[in-house]
Each structure stands twice: as C-alpha cells, then as structure tokens.
Amino acid sequence: MWAKKTVHTRDLTPYITRDHDQSLSSRLAALYEQQKRSWPQFRRGHEAMKKAQVRTIQLGGCWVRCQYTPHRITSVSARVDPRSIARRSCFLCPENLYPREKGLPYGEDYFILCNVSPIFDFHVVITHQDHVPQQIEGHFDTVLELVRDISPHFVLIYNGPRCGASAPDHLHFQAFPAQNLPLESQAWAVHPHIIETDQILIGAPSGFSRRFLTFESDRSEALSLWFHQSLVALAETEASVREPMINFVMEYQEGRWRMVLFPRRKHRPRCYHRRGDQQMLISPGAIDMAGVFVIPRKKDYERLDAATLHHIYQEVTTPEDRFSRLVEKLREINETGAYR
C-alpha cells in the first residue's frame, strides 16, 4: 500500500534545487514543492499558512511568537479521547490518505508526508508504516538516526499521546526547518548544567515561564540512556503506568544532538474548555512549548497577552516540585551510577 503512495523519482528531480543533492533534507524540500503543485488540498493549506498573522509577546526574559492560523482549527480542536479516536478513520494510514498525497519511505518502517495544514514552510510528518500507538519507548534510537539524517536544515518534534499528538493511535513525528522555534536559540544560552560529563550536558534553565530540560551530546547511546532515565524518573513522580506526558524538540548540528524535553502536567489549559467569551482555543504541543503559539481564532489571537500566556504555560508545564524531584533524581543517578 505504501509503495503506491511513494513519489516517483522523476517527479521529484525537477525540484531538487542543488545539483544532484540527494540528501534527505534536499529530497524533503523537493517533496514539499512537488506536493504543492500536485495535491490541491495541501496547496490550499500551504497558502493559508503563508497568510498567517504573527506577533511577538515578551515574556520575562524571553519572547514567544503568536501565529494566527485559522486553517489549524481542525487540528487544535481535534477530539483526542480514546472513544473519538476509535470512531474516526486514521489519517496517517495509507488507505485514508488523499488521492494526490505522496511521500518518501524512510528506512524500513517509516514514511514521510507533507503536513496538509502546515504551520511552517516545509513542515512534514514522519509516520510509522504500521498503525501502532504513539509512544516513544522502543523508537528513540530511530529518532536519533532520523534527526541526524534530516540535519542540518530540519528539526524534529515529538508530541506524546496525551499532550499534543492529534493521532495518539498512530506513531508519528514532525519535522520542519530549524530556525522557526524561538526557544531553539534561547534555550542554549550559557547556563549552569545539572549534569556535565564527557558524554553529555544536561541543563534545567529557568526564567522561561515553563520548565524543561536540555540535553546535548555527540554520543547517541548517552542521549538514549539519559532520555530513558528521565522518563523513568518522570513516571515515578507522575505515578502513572503510561508514558509520562512529554514533548520534545531535537536537532543535530556539527556532530552533536541537542534536545529540549518538556515534561507536562496537562495537555489543554482550562480556558480551552470554558464556554462563550471565556473560552480560548489554545492546545499546546511541542511547537507551542518551544515558543510558537498556534492560534486558530482571531479573537483569541488579539486578546492573548503576556499574563495569560504565562498562566497557560504554568498550567500545562510540569509543576515546580515535580520538576525539582526530576532534577534531583537525575543528579543522584549521575552521582551513584545507579542507572535503570
């Protein structure tokens, strides 16, 4: 089934900008251009994205970008409870793709498609070829390879099944050009690390209204190990048997992986569920946590201010005491070498 959805090399070649550049990021960019011309619904999504209004809000020592994007209403307001998910047909399974929707296989298990409602130029979705649930355990090593393969131009994001994934029943990631997320430049400013070894640097920067960890390493095994340790520690503080609520952003630059991990308290803030004028349709995933608020309604876009934004971040980010316990736990593991 996926073979039928694979874009033909002869259709892609005219869009390869640099001579014979067959790198994955070059082919992704070519796919995006090819699909803009041959898949009408995607072209409309792209044109809507291009008309997005944007403004920045200063938030303490950092800033975030608000993006008024009416075409994202379906995604932002998607019902993601198990019952609704079971009743809809999965938009990431090959039999349900648009007729003109084509993509590129990645490895044996993945397939890359354009995002029909892009938030950025060259916004793509990397979907597992099987209808398997969204969860990171067991797939993190593939993510590390994938991020290296789409570097240096693309970053990858992951939304956990309970905090941002619009298809919690079908494993997928998203990728887009690196310079779009404000936090990507803000989070790496000099700050003391909580763990500093010859294998990895882990930071817990403050002053961003939301809490997150930064990881930097040139060793895939080290990053994989510490990511796993963080999930175990988070699961203990969340008292849940399911995957802890997380989003992350990852990139690979100059031989090093860099990841920002957002532990979450909840998916949608209270204002999302309110009625009438009290309601604000804001549904934060990795992109919003990394500093781009995707807002599909004009009235919400216009009235969102720094105080409300700070409040929303505080509501959906992991609570301070839980975050402190996570940091303590990671320090303890580093000191005692008691990895799990």
Q: By CB under 5 A, is residue 310 in contact with Zn ion?
A: no
Q: By CB under 5 A, is residue 85 in contact with Zn ion?
A: no
Task: Name the segment binding Zn ion (CB under 5 A); options: 88-96, 156-164, 257-265, 291-299.
Answer: 88-96
Nearer to Zn ion, 116 or 223 (CB): 116
Nearer to Zn ion, 162 or 170 (CB): 170
Residues 116 and 98 sit within 8 Å (Cβ to Cβ): yes
Residue 107 structure tokens: 């490895």
Q: What share of the chain is helix, strand, coil (3-state, %, to 5)?
A: 40, 20, 40
Phi and psi torsions of 213, nearest 5°: -110, 145
Residues 150 and 156 sit within 8 Å (Cβ to Cβ): yes
Q: What is the H or E stretch that residue 222 is in?
A: helix 220-238
List 48, 73, 85, 90, residue binding Zn ion (CB under 5 A): 90
Q: Hunting for tokens 């044109």 — which residue is that?
A: 47
List binders of Zn ion among 141-200 (CB under 5 A): 170
Task: Name the segment binding Zn ion (CB under 5 A); options: 128-136, 259-267, 274-282, 310-318.
Answer: 128-136
**CB neighbour list of residue 307: distance below 8 Å, 6 or more residues apart:** none
Nearer to Zn ion, 170 or 297 (CB): 170
List binders of Zn ion among 93-122 (CB under 5 A): 93
Tell me which residue has its CB nearest to Zn ion: 90
Task: Name the segment binding Zn ion (CB under 5 A); options: 68-76, 84-92, 214-222, 258-266.
Answer: 84-92
Nearer to Zn ion, 101 or 288 (CB): 101
List 29, 31, 57, 92, residue binding Zn ion (CB under 5 A): 92
Nearer to Zn ion, 139 or 153 (CB): 139
Residues in contact with Zn ion, counted by CB under 5 A, come to a total of 5
Residue 4 structure tokens: 């039928």
DSSP label of 317: B
DSSP label of 264: B
Q: Is 219 helix (H, G, I), strand (E, B) or coil?
A: coil
Residue 234 structure tokens: 């988070």
Nearer to Zn ion, 160 or 296 (CB): 160
* Shortest Å, Cβ 81 to Zn ion: 17
Nearer to Zn ion, 130 or 302 (CB): 130
* Shortest Å, Cβ 155 to Zn ion: 24
Q: By CB under 5 A, is residue 131 in contact with Zn ion?
A: yes
Residues 282 and 269 sit within 8 Å (Cβ to Cβ): yes
Residues 49 and 120 sit within 8 Å (Cβ to Cβ): yes
Residues 153 and 328 sit within 8 Å (Cβ to Cβ): no
Task: Give the residues lining the site for Zn ion (CB under 5 A).
Answer: 90, 92-93, 131, 170
